[in-house]
Structure 1
Amino acid sequence: MQDVASGGLRTIIIGAGMAGLLAAIRLKQRGESDFVIYEKGTSVGGTWRENTYPGIACDTPAHSYSYSFALNPEWSAFYAPGEEIRGYFERMTDRYDLAAHIRFNTEIAACEWRDGQWHVTTKAGDIDQAQVLVAATGVLHHPHIPDIAGLADFERPWFHSARWDHSVPVDGKRIGVIGNGSTGVQIVSALARRAARLVHFQRSPQWIMPAIDKTYTNEEKLDFRTDPAAIENVRNGPETQARRNRFTSAIIDAESTELAEIEDIVARNLEDSVRDPALREKLRPNYRAACKRLVFSSRYYDAVQQPAVYVETGAIERIEPTGVRMKDGTFHELDVLALATGFKVDQFVRPMTVRGVGGLDLEDLWAEGPRAHYAVTVPGFPNLCLLNGPTGPVGNFSLIDIAEKQWGYFDQLLDQVRAGRCQGIAPRIEALERYEVARDEAAGRTVFASGCTSWYLNEKGVPQVWPWSYGHFIECMAAPRLEDFELVGAG
């Protein structure tokens, strides 16, 4: 174990997805090598390992969905397909020599702060210890299976989008897709011309923001390789800044001119793209744009106008052995059923048991819902970092950029431990309460609270997201307010 006085801390990282690899790389970059990554899967990549459904892509521009210190001039398109993104993280693992630090097929059962350290127990019963615990467990990894009567009785192949069975043929088949968030839209767009019939079961329509459907040429890739400014222009150039500022202004103020501009864009996209008036009305939401997470697509409206595609807006009565029965009696016979029904986004570190100072159970602190001080740290849980944790900026921003800034914030807190001033550092409960009061008040003014159902809302209907500007997030992450924290085990 490294000497704390000399700046070394042992760190346990849970998860080898984007955020877990980031934490490991940042530790290496500061000269620390005493860390381990526990990964429940068989390889790196997180959500990009789990999700391999047809049409999967990131709706954040590829050059923005890259580590700031490891830009990739070889992205094939403005929006990269999932396989490429997974390949990027595999290359990062190799580039930074992380494989030796990763324990695959190892799921964590419990974590407990005791005697100035985290004691971590795997499901196999093995125990490890470290001063620092990083929960890079992600949000989109516990599939949500809807409670639809008869689902278990379906005699033909069915699966969640995050468990896509590629052994099941889809060409020339009758396919049902339940769910029309980004995943459902991508699947329908990919299979519309491959299926004999495709039924898209739509609980509520989505506003579709037209996406940049651009494949990079060899000349453009050469430019990216030889001129870093070309990549920087995609990441943070004037057009990108304008889009980012428009969106962040729109979500934090439902009465803003920026939201009105977005509403005009998506409304014109619907009007100009869908020829049939009846279908157009099926696809028209009755809530404000961006109330749900915006869906970006250049292909969906074309896909649903293909002869083989039918948009079903009725309510499902039950699943029968050979298809789906609607409440109005309509029956859709299917060969394959795909559930694009999202994830249990309130899980975070669950189902792990996590106990802090004095045996405090995280479940007790989260009795009314997951919360963390500025989405990163938790009172009573010293040296615990939640990357992309509860109430973070999970809208249409780059989660890599968010995680990088969160890590920089947490790393500054650890300087108190590295300097020997304490064994651990955690936010004061009153600081979390102040943050939550201010956040709840601001969240009520966001477009997320303007009258729709979405996975952003908690049981009380309050959006559990960052309700302020992206610029304010950057300011908050630049330097922690040390007066908001308490030193545990200070000597």
Structure 2
Amino acid sequence: MTPQYDAIVVGAGFGGMGAAIELKRLGHHDLLILEREDDLGGTWHVNRYPGLAVDIPSSTYSYSFEPNPHWSRLFAPGEELKRYAEHVADKYDLRPSMRFGVEVTGAAWRDDHWEVTAGGETVTARYLVTATGFLSMPKTPDIAGIDTFAGKVVHTAAWEPTDLTGKRVAIIGTGATAVQLIPELAKSASALTVFQRTPIWVSPKPDYRIPRAARTLFARLPFVQRAVRWLGSSILELMMISGVVHYKQLRIANRLAERWCRTHLHRQVRDPGLRRKLTPDYSFGCKRPTFSNDYFRTFTKPHVHLETATVERIDATGLVTANGRVDVDVLVLATGFDLWDTNFPAFEVIGRDGEDLGAWWRQNRFQAYEGVTVPGFPNYLSLNSPYSYSGLSYFTTIECQMTHMRRLFTAMRARNAQLFEVTRQANDEFLERMRTKVARNSVFSLGQCATAHSYYFNQHGEATLLRPTSTISAHRAASRFPVEHYKYSPIPAEAHRARLNGRRESA
């Protein structure tokens, strides 16, 4: 059978749109983009909680080839990211290829194409790209009695407008999402109890409004905004990345980052007991840090209480810990996402010879060549893969993968081939390189990460999410990897003959 599409892209967030843009540049215009939600934007469509904003400077959080001169703040609010996603989809004519409200439940390789089961039907394509995001499966805490709570329960990834005026509110979780949300909850709740398992490293947030004159300058002289982007990226690389992936060589950068965060905490919280509770006991970088100017200060308000005892159970009216019970009207779950159990991959992917990707990853370590392809899975590009996340901005990862796609498809075309598959030797060598770098250089192996409870680590205790190299190195690898690391082949002759016969008969 002739595949219905050149490629199927699963996910209409920034990753999926970036892949679709690159495929169109490479001449593959017959695309199908499948999205589980009812609109595009991924994270920036699903998340709508109060205080939502990008947690790195906006200038670095966009495609480098499609800068946005209209950000209102240095750290843009969520609705502006959503509008930017819509702008990209419109400018690059992606909407006609998108289907919303369609959940993909499986994909299987069939001789020379992919069969994808989605929304109760089967569609086929020559290439399959999964861009389901790292943070797409909300995690509900496994706490006894949570289903018996009689009040309102809301997860941050499924936010519903709720009037909290005069309400007693509890929030479980103190990750990057909670850091943005907690100050907003405190503005209206009569009492707010924050249940913290693990404190977070928080840096001051230089969240300035971008003057209209500067935005006009960015629009008229794009190179000025590119310079700002380069400066912001360089600072983030030094502060947030170098001291993490190059911890052994640049331990001083890690220590300076810790001191910067400690000073920020000390400036906002004078109570030494409260300060101790809010101070992480793990090394900077073991868990994703974040920025905020009002998170720490919120805990100094009389109606806000920080609870560090473990929640033992939940009943109809509240939460119970070893310190007693807390009665609440609204329970907010800022408990993050289930990365490793349900999101690698997000649905069943069956490759050549019936290989199950999820089972293979769990039996043979989480791995993907250059964070993009997997041996035994021809014509498959997995954008949200082990060792793929490079730098602090997701767009660094996306554009590295787009560059990898360009080099791979160009090499395939030069060989008059339609099928590709990374060799096991190349994949094994890449995996060994990444594991060695993590073990020898990174904070994940050389720092104190045992108490971080970080989603960077999989269920085997390995930090396989982040690529343990600089962003410059990642970009270089994407544009220069040996094309011989892939096997290329034409469509099998028997399939090609059958296809030709089918066309003659239909004619």
Task: Give the TM-score, by structure 1 length.
Answer: 0.93
Q: Structure 2 residue aligned with 1:36, among 32, 35, 38? A: 32
Match of residue 224 from structure 1: 218
Which residue identity does 1:486 align to in structure 2? K
Decide whether aligned partners of structure 1 residues 288 and 393 sit closer, same or farther in structure 2, where only a CA change above 3 A counts: same
Is 1:451 paired with 2:444? Answer: no
Q: 1:249 aligns with which of 242, 246, 252?
A: 242
Among 363, 377, 401, the alignment partner of 2:358 is: 363
Counterpart residue identity of residue 290, structure 2: V
1:152 corresponds to 2:147: yes
Report what 1:196 is aligned to: 190
Q: Which residue of 2 aligns with 1:6?
A: none
1:175 and 2:169 aligned: yes
Which structure 1 residue ranges, 5 or more long, are not aligned? 4-8
DSSP 3-state at the match of 1:131: strand
Any idea what the Cα deviations from partners look like across 1:319-363, whole Å, max 9, x if unmatched?
Answer: 1111111123x2111111111111111244534221112222213
Report the secondary structure of 1:367's partner residue. Answer: helix
Go from structure 1 to structure 2 and tell me whether the alpha carbon gap of 1:148 and 1:51 turns closer, same or farther (over 3 Å shift).
Answer: same
> Which residue type is aligned with residue 151 of structure 1?
I
Q: Which amino acid letter does the alignment assign opposite residue 358 of structure 1?
A: D
Contact 1:185 / 1:300 at 8 angstroms: preserved in 2?
Answer: yes
Residue 505 (structure 2) aligns with: none
Flag the 1:32–1:435 CA change in 2: closer, same or farther, 3 A.
Answer: closer
Give the 3 Å change call, closer, same or farther, for CA 13–360 of structure 1 in structure 2: same
Q: For 1:481 and 1:364, how far apart are their aligned partners in 2? A: 28
1:137–1:349 Cα contact (<8 Å) kept: no
Residues 269-305 of structure 1 show CA distances to partners (whole Å, capped at 9, x for unaligned) of: 1222212122111111111122211122122112222
2:68 counterpart of 1:94:
no
Which residue is 2:230 aligned to?
Answer: 236
Residue 478 of structure 2 is matched in structure 1 by 477
> Which whole-Å deviations, capped at 9, do the CAs of 1:98-134 have from their partners, x for residues lacking one?
221111111112211112111212131x222211111
Q: CA deviation at 1:251?
A: 0.6
In structure 2, distance between residues paired with 1:387 and 1:26: 13
In structure 2, what is the equivalent of residue 385 of structure 1?
381
Q: In 2, Cα distance between the equivalents of 1:211 and 1:37?
A: 36
Alpha-carbon distance, 1:233 to partner: 2.3
| Residues in 1 aligned to 2:283 and 2:376: alpha-carbon distance in whole angstroms | 39
2:182 counterpart of 1:185? no
Q: 1:312 and 1:402 mapped to 2: Cα distance?
A: 36
Q: Which residue in the other structure is 2:467 paired with?
A: 466
1 CA distance for matches of 2:28 and 2:416?
A: 19
State whether structure 2 residue 256 is matched by structure 1 residue 292. Answer: no
Question: Hey, what's the Cα distance between the residues in 1 that align with 2:289 and 2:144?
Answer: 30
- Alignment partner of 2:214: what SS? helix
C-alpha distance 32-486 of structure 1, shift in aligned 2 (>3 A): closer
Asked if 1:208 corresponds to 2:205, the answer is no
Letter in 2 for 1:267: R
SS of aligned partner of 1:121: strand
Question: Does 1:130 pair with 2:131?
Answer: no
Residues 1:283 and 1:349: Cα distance change in structure 2 (over 3 Å): closer
Match in the other structure for 1:432: 427
Task: Give the conservation status (yes or no) of the 8 Å contact 1:382–1:488.
Answer: no
Match of 1:192, SS state, is helix
Q: Is the 8 A contact 2:156 2:333 kept in 1?
A: yes
Contact 1:176 1:338 in 2 (8 A): yes
Where does residue 113 of structure 2 map in the other structure? 117
Tell me by how many angstroms 1:94 deviates: 1.7
RMSD of equivalent CA atoms: 2.1
Say yes or no: does 1:344 pair with 2:338.
yes
1:437-458 deviations in Å (ceiling 9; x for gaps): 2212221231133232311112
User: Partner of 2:18 in structure 1?
Assistant: 22
Q: Percent identity?
A: 35
- Bigger drift between 45-54 and 215-224 goes to 215-224
Amino acid at match of 2:22: R
Counterpart Cα distance in 2 of 1:60 and 1:389: 22
301-310 vs 72-81, which moves further: 301-310
Amino acid corresponding to residue 206 of structure 1 in structure 2 = I
Instruction: Give the conservation status (yes or no) of the 8 Å contact 1:443–1:467.
Output: yes
Name the CA shift for 1:253/1:140 in 2 (closer, same or farther; >3 Å). Answer: same
1:78 correspondence with 2:71: no
Alignment of 1:48-63 (within 5 A): 48-63=44-59
Contact 2:344/2:358 (8 A) holds in 1: no
Paired AA for residue 18 in structure 1 = F
Q: Which blocks of at least 5 consecutive residues in structure 2 are unaligned? A: 493-507
Please say if 1:309 is aligned against 2:304.
Answer: yes
Q: 1:68 to 1:240 in 2, by over 3 A?
A: closer
Structure 2 contact 201–280 (Cα < 8 Å) conserved: yes
1:393, distance to aligned residue in structure 2 (A): 2.4
Whichever structure has more helix as a proportion of its residues is 2
| 2: CA distance, partners of 1:121 / 1:14 | 11
How far does residue 489 in structure 1 lie from its aligned partner after superposition? Answer: 4.9
Change (3 A) 1:488 1:176: farther
Q: 1: CA distance between counterparts of 2:313 and 2:332?
A: 15
Q: SS at the partner of 2:187? A: coil
CA contact (8 A) 1:12 1:133 kept: yes
What per-residue deviation string (whole Å, max 9, x for no partner) do you get for residues 411-469 of structure 1?
22122433454331121122222222221222123113323231111233221121122
Contact 2:22 2:405 in 1 (8 A): no
1:68 Cα deviation (Å)?
Answer: 1.5
Q: Structure 2: how far apart are the matches of 1:161 and 1:439?
A: 33
Is the 2:390–2:474 Cα contact (8 Å) retained in structure 1? Answer: no
Whole-Å Cα distance in 1 between the matches of residues 390 and 152 of structure 2?
33
Shift, 1:30, TM fit:
4.2
What SS is found at the alignment partner of 1:458?
coil
SS in 2 for 1:311: strand
* DSSP 3-state at the match of 2:313: strand
Q: Does 1:415 align with 2:410?
A: yes
> d(CA) in 2 for partners of 1:70 and 1:115?
38
Partner of 2:369: 373
Letter in 1 for 2:261: V
- Using the size of structure 2 for normalisation, the TM-score is 0.90
Partner of 1:275: 270
Could you give the per-residue CA deviations for residues 235-263 of structure 1, whole angstroms, max 9, x where no partner exists?
102x5413323432201233422112112
Of the structure 1 ranges 198-207 and 91-100, higher mean CA displacement relative to structure 2 is found in 91-100
One-letter code of the match for 2:166? G
Distance 2:200 2:61 in 1: 24
